[in-house]
Amino acid sequence: MEILFKNARILRRPSSGIVEEGELLVSGTRIRFVGKKAPSGDYDKIIDCRGGLLMPGFKDAHAHSAMVFARSASDDLPLDRWLHERIFPLEERLSPGDVLALSKVAVLEYLSGGITAAADMYYFPEEIAEAGLRTGFRFLVVGTPREDGEGMEEFMALLRKWNSVPDSLVRFVPGFHAEYTATEGMLQALSKAAHELRMPVWAHNSETAREVEECRRRHDGMSPTEYMDSLGLFDYGGGGYHCVHFSRGDMEIFRKRGCHVVSCPGSNAKLASGIAPLTDFLEEGISLALGTDGAGSNNALDMFYEMRLAAVLQKLRLGRADAFDGLLALQAATEGGALAMGLSDSLYLEEGQKADLALIDLDRPEMRPLNDIARNLVYSGSRDAVRLTMVDGRILYEDGEFHLPESAEDIYRKAEEVTSRLLSESKDA
Amino acid sequence: MEILFKNARILRRPSSGIVEEGELLVSGTRIRFVGKKAPSGDYDKIIDCRGGLLMPGFKDAHAHSAMVFARSASDDLPLDRWLHERIFPLEERLSPGDVLALSKVAVLEYLSGGITAAADMYYFPEEIAEAGLRTGFRFLVVGTPREDGEGMEEFMALLRKWNSVPDSLVRFVPGFHAEYTATEGMLQALSKAAHELRMPVWAHNSETAREVEECRRRHDGMSPTEYMDSLGLFDYGGGGYHCVHFSRGDMEIFRKRGCHVVSCPGSNAKLASGIAPLTDFLEEGISLALGTDGAGSNNALDMFYEMRLAAVLQKLRLGRADAFDGLLALQAATEGGALAMGLSDSLYLEEGQKADLALIDLDRPEMRPLNDIARNLVYSGSRDAVRLTMVDGRILYEDGEFHLPESAEDIYRKAEEVTSRLLSESKDA
């Protein structure tokens, strides 16, 4: 299958901000040519981009896709009531099949927003993987061992099984929810497993000030980062989700271990957790990615919003309009995410890379005039301008329509059924 | 002309959050029926909403539409360099016809984002009015007198002329840029004119901390609000744009005078001006509206973003996830804006009101599941979901296409020409 994109503007490397005019040829799952004029051939499909922008797809580096059930079912509550009265009781009711049905709604949202891959940590991890395989979407599933630390062999077997499929859309990495929900025994067993697997470890980290304080009380004054590092959890890298309340010492550990920060500005703002010090991370040489978190807390799964919010919150935090360059947000939302998720084949629009890309319609008013297209993406870009999304060489979204085995209507209907059941059971409880 | 919307969900009053199912009938420029089943008749057009949401259009209560020329031409600079090196030199080059050409791009952006009216203060105010009349969009033009305060009779004649047209899409109110760019002589003359016209007065007010400090130094310790009030400028109401650095005393004046606050969270964040104390305004009983400001500073003209940012920034500012209810942002973006702009006929979807409305597609993933549709608009809504926008009974945007006398392509092309000229002259200078 060969697909030619012609009359395109092309942003090969988002961090460069450089846009060129030309053509891009996809052959199978990979990019075969990027440049002025593609080699002629008998293409299966030719797409006239009409001057639109081809760019690497966004990477949502922290998500709980299935949490769409909680979207707008739990707004405007204090964090502890949100978690304990709304989210936990609903999650307890999740049954087999629910996560698959719900995650597909999130996949629709990813695709229609130009997102080509998401890192997802949630219950029923193999259902997340299934949602990826059935829709053609790329998932990095962050698997978590049992809370008591037992069954570590089965956990490792699960990871090995999913990672043994060559060139798969789905890969697994190990992780755990957070220091405050983990036992030390489990973390020690997980660290041992990560060493054996030689794999990075991911966890929520320092999302709230209280979380850091309580960790210090529990663990001889250590921050969550210091504590995790003391257990050897970062010996093969990995990283943290949120990292709002990070000290310079925490950053030094992340830098030394090659760990990534995945910032979730939308979720951190809505839950009033604070503003992460993104400029400090970059100053310390830490690789930065962005994530949407789940729809229960954010509530949109929209990387345009995350980029823009990331940039303007740093300006507000430091009281300087030049405190953060919009291009850094674009880099985090694309290249930074790919690096955090180990997707070194989905970094750029270059020959040999995976065909994971988005086509942005520049004939939308919010993209005009064309003064600086890359910064336009950050500061006025919108899912409204996403014309096409391709994952692994397949067009999954085009001109408002999804090209999936199942219709969007069916996906919505099944997710509404699951949501109604969860919410009504919750009211009964 | 009669247009029936059937199979609709209807949000009559955004502040209520209550959504009902039914039909809405538009006759001429006004709503003739809202309810379960419209009276049968020989309609000119029937629109199947397919379960989508009809809501009052958004009101952008502070805009500089023509500033689209500066979109992404001036990002990530400190405020003073942004203003003095980029914006002012470009604005000096504006020629007759430019504001008309540029404002039309903004109108496209308003319409595709569900916005049905904007309050605009800018150079060449009659060209803003023309942009409204030629596209069918509703503008409140905030006219400003000459800087030296001369020609006040002509200024009043201009206002009277535009306001003498019955049922017009365009109305004028008096205003001035800001205390720091005004002479006392001009303000005294303007106050006299406003008394004679019995009209509200609008101005930028307390956008930055420095503006307030410098005003206090210039005017016997008075804040901009105290100073303006001392000149009688608010005797017939009006209000302030931004109001980021407002004291309780300022609020007391606004409350007493029936003045409105138009908050511009997107612009205030990107320019690092601060977070306005919205919860305090509401506590003091001040009516709150939202505005996008111009594309030079924001850069999107998108009320979904403004609503969401307004809500989450209050949560961040106060450190409490329950500090601000999303519904208050929706109210400000619709009813609050209509009140600020004197559009008492465009407040609600009720019989007799103007047919200024948006149809939101709820079959978009970011709107699913349908747990709380009103809060969905605020926390995950997007211009992507706007299916149709109607102003004054006319469908100006539907299914991604604009229904205007001029094509979007022509509007883009002319605006690109003007922008190229402004930017290249600026480089030569």
In angstroms, the CA B392 to CA B90 distance is 34
> Is A297 within the bounds of a domain?
yes
Same domain flag for B200 and B336: yes
Look up residue B39 and give its DSSP letter.
P
Which residue in this structure is represented by tokens 């008591």?
Answer: A148
Give the structural domain span for A394.
2-56+346-398
- What's the pLDDT tens digit per position in A89-104? 999 999 999 999 999 9
> Is A312 within the bounds of a domain?
yes
The reply to whether B88 touches chain A by the CB within 8 Å rule is: no
Q: Mean pLDDT, chain A, as a whole number? A: 96
Same domain flag for A333 and A361: no
Same domain flag for A253 and A378: no
Of all residues in chain A, the percent with pLDDT exceeding 70 is 99
Same domain flag for B50 and B198: no
Strands B115-120 and B58-63: parallel
Measured distance between the N- and C-terminal CA atoms of chain B, rounded to whole angstroms: 53
Same domain flag for B164 and B257: yes
In angstroms, the CA A120 to CA A143 distance is 9
Please list the pLDDT of chain B residue by residue as tens digits (429 residues).
999 999 999 999 999 999 999 999 999 999 999 999 999 999 999 999 999 999 999 999 999 999 999 999 888 888 778 888 889 999 999 999 999 999 999 999 999 999 999 999 999 999 999 999 999 999 999 999 998 889 999 999 999 999 999 999 999 999 999 999 999 999 999 999 999 999 999 999 999 999 999 999 999 999 999 999 999 999 999 999 999 999 999 999 999 999 999 999 999 999 999 999 999 999 999 999 999 999 999 999 999 999 999 999 999 999 999 999 999 999 999 999 999 999 999 999 999 999 999 999 999 999 999 999 999 999 999 999 999 999 999 999 999 999 999 999 999 999 999 999 999 865 554
Q: How confident is the model at residue A74 (pLDDT cuts 50, 70, 90)?
A: confident
Same domain flag for B372 and B239: no
> Is B427 within the bounds of a domain?
no
Look up residue A40 and give its DSSP letter.
P
Q: Tell me if A316 and B269 make a contact (CB, 8 A cut-off).
A: yes
In the three-class reduction of DSSP (H, G, I as helix; E, B as strand; rest coil), residue A71 is classed as coil
pLDDT of A18 higher than 90:
yes
The CA distance from B190 to the nearest CA of chain A, in Å, is 33
Look up residue B180 and give its DSSP letter.
G
Q: Any residues with CB less than 8 A from the CB of B220 and at least 6 apart, and which? A: none
Residue B386: strand pairing partners: B360
State both tokens at B147.
Answer: 């800087």
> Is B419 within the bounds of a domain?
no
CATH number of the domain that B195 lies in? 3.20.20.140
State both tokens at B65.
Answer: 């539409």
Same domain flag for B42 and B119: no
Q: Tell me if B298 and A379 make a contact (CB, 8 A cut-off).
A: yes
pLDDT value for B29: 98
CATH number of the domain that A382 lies in? 2.30.40.10
The pTM score is: 0.97
Same domain flag for B35 and B101: no
DSSP secondary structure, B263-313, as one string: E-HHHHHHTT-----HHHHHHTT--EEE----TTTS----HHHHHHHHHHH
> Is A414 within the bounds of a domain?
no
Q: How confident is the model at residue A428 (pLDDT cuts 50, 70, 90)?
A: low
The CA distance from B167 to the nearest CA of chain A, in Å, is 28
- What's the pLDDT tens digit per position in A358-402? 999 999 999 999 999 999 999 999 999 999 999 999 999 999 999
The reply to whether A423 touches chain B by the CB within 8 Å rule is: yes
Interface of A with B in 299-318 (CB under 8 A): 299-302, 305, 308-309, 311-313, 315-316, 318
> Is A353 within the bounds of a domain?
yes
The reply to whether B68 touches chain A by the CB within 8 Å rule is: yes
Chain A interface disruption, residue of B69, B207, B299, most A CBs within 10 A: B299
pLDDT value for B84: 86
The CA distance from B407 to the nearest CA of chain A, in Å, is 12
pLDDT of A425 higher than 80:
no
Same domain flag for B73 and B86: yes
pLDDT value for B79: 78
Q: Residues A204-217: what's their mean pLDDT?
A: 97
Q: Tell me if B270 and A363 make a contact (CB, 8 A cut-off).
A: no
Same domain flag for A202 and A313: yes
In angstroms, the CA A296 to CA A53 distance is 32
Q: How confident is the model at residue A77 (pLDDT cuts 50, 70, 90)?
A: confident
- What's the pLDDT tens digit per position in A113-170? 999 999 999 999 999 999 999 999 999 999 999 988 899 999 999 999 999 999 999 9
Q: Any residues with CB less than 8 A from the CB of A291 and at least 6 apart, and which? A: A60, A61, A62, A63, A119, A241, A262, A263, A264, A306, A337
> Is A423 within the bounds of a domain?
no
> Is A408 within the bounds of a domain?
no
Q: Evaluate whether B137 touches B107 at the Cβ level (below 8 Å).
A: yes
pLDDT value for A158: 97
Interface ipTM > 0.95: yes
In angstroms, the CA B340 to CA B355 distance is 19
Same domain flag for A252 and A266: yes
Chain A interface disruption, residue of B379, B398, B418, most A CBs within 10 A: B379
Residues from chain B contacting residue A295 (CB–CB below 8 Å): 380
Give the count of Cβ contacts less than 8 A between chain A and B: 224
Number of domains in chain B: 2
* Last residue within a domain, chosen from A340, A361, A383: A340
Run of H or E residues at A45: strand A45-48
Same domain flag for A216 and A243: yes
pLDDT of A80 higher than 90:
no
Query: Is residue B38 classed exposed, middle or buried when 0-12, 13-18 and 19+ CB atoms within 10 A define those classes?
Result: buried
